[in-house]
Structure 1
Amino acid sequence: MSRTVIHTDQAPAAIGPYSQAIRAGNTVYLSGQIPLQPDTMDLVTGDRAAEIEQVFRNLEAVCTAAGGSLAHIVKLNIYLTDLADFALVNERMQRFFNEPYPARAAIGVAALPKGAQVEMDAVMVLED
């Protein structure tokens, strides 16, 4: 099976030895996104809702570069340094997703790259 690297300047550049996403067949594996602004690589901080929205915008940009959209995401993993933000993630997620919602996990973690408070990765399946 061939693998295709997905890259867009509309999402933050990788901050390590990984790709923004990899397409294998009809499946696209999106790497974790934190609330980095793609143009400056600065972390959105101070407003948790704005941080969460930036992560969704970053994921959306990678989905678009891969030929899909957030609607094609079948699995979403959310990593939070404070699970008290879970309700806010749910509220913001409804601004970016419609039913049927993707399968999802929300995981509490001690720390994230660059001091971020939220990170998300996803699996997207594209049509033939």
Structure 2
Amino acid sequence: MTIERQNPPGLHATPGYHHVTVASAPRTVYLAGQCPLTPDGEVVAGDILAQTDQVVTNTAAALEYAGAAPSDVVRTVIYVVTDDRAVLSSVWNRLTSSPIAEAFTTASTLLGVAQLGYPGQLVELDVTAALA
């Protein structure tokens, strides 16, 4: 299995992700949106970065359970409840310096949204991985 990450000529420079990810893999893993929930189902108290850390923990556990690693990720979509670019950047920076940072070198989208599914939830991560 191969995963190619590329930035085609003529497209803008990126802050770490790639515009195009091509995978040749017999298995694809789709994670449900990873939320900032503790094992008992409670939204993590605190700020958006504390919630981002829980999302990282949950995503790492889900990837490991599926037999995948951050290097197997081919697409991420990050949802953040904000209209402030500085907040979006802080979440991106936290993710790209986290234990699953390699997952964000692939095709990634970062969105500011009005609201997410759980009361008080500020961040959610959608992940797709490709496995041999």
Q: Distance in 1 between matches of 2:33 and 2:103?
A: 23
Query: Which structure is larger by alpha-carbon Rg, 1 or 2?
Result: 2
Counterpart of 1:33 in 2: which secondary structure?
A: coil
TM-score, normalization by structure 2: 0.70
Give the deviation of 1:109 after TM superposition: 1.6
Give the deviation of 1:25 after TM superposition: 4.2
Alignment partner, residue 115 of structure 2: 111
Q: Which amino acid aligns with 1:59?
A: T
Percent of aligned pairs with the same amino acid? 33
User: Higher RCO, 1 or 2 (CA under 8 Å, sep at least 6)?
Assistant: 2
After the TM superposition, which parts of structure 1 deviate over 6 Å for at least 4 consecutive aligned residues?
none
How many pairs does the alignment contain?
A: 103
The answer as to 2:126 corresponding to 1:121 is yes
Deviation per CA, 1:5-56: give whole Å up to 9, x if none: xxxxxxxxxxxxxxxxxxx941101110110012x21111222111011111
Are the aligned partners of 1:59 and 1:70 in contact in 2 as well (CA < 8 Å)? no
Are the aligned partners of 2:28 and 2:130 in contact in 1 as well (CA < 8 Å)? yes
Alignment partner, residue 92 of structure 1: 94
Q: Distance in 2 between matches of 1:90 and 1:75?
A: 15
Counterpart of 1:111 in 2: which secondary structure?
A: coil
Matches within 5 A, 1:1-128: 25-38=26-39, 40-84=40-84, 85-96=87-98, 97-98=101-102, 101-115=105-119, 116-126=121-131, 128=132
Give the deviation of 1:95 after TM superposition: 2.2
Alignment partner, residue 8 of structure 2: none
- Show structure 2 runs of 5+ residues with no match: 1-24
Give the deviation of 1:120 after TM superposition: 0.8
Deviation per CA, 1:59-111: give whole Å up to 9, x if none: 11110000011221110001111143211112111223138712111122211
RMSD: 1.9
- Show structure 1 runs of 5+ residues with no match: 1-23
Q: Which amino acid aligns with 1:53?
A: D
Q: Distance in 2 between matches of 1:43 and 1:111?
A: 14
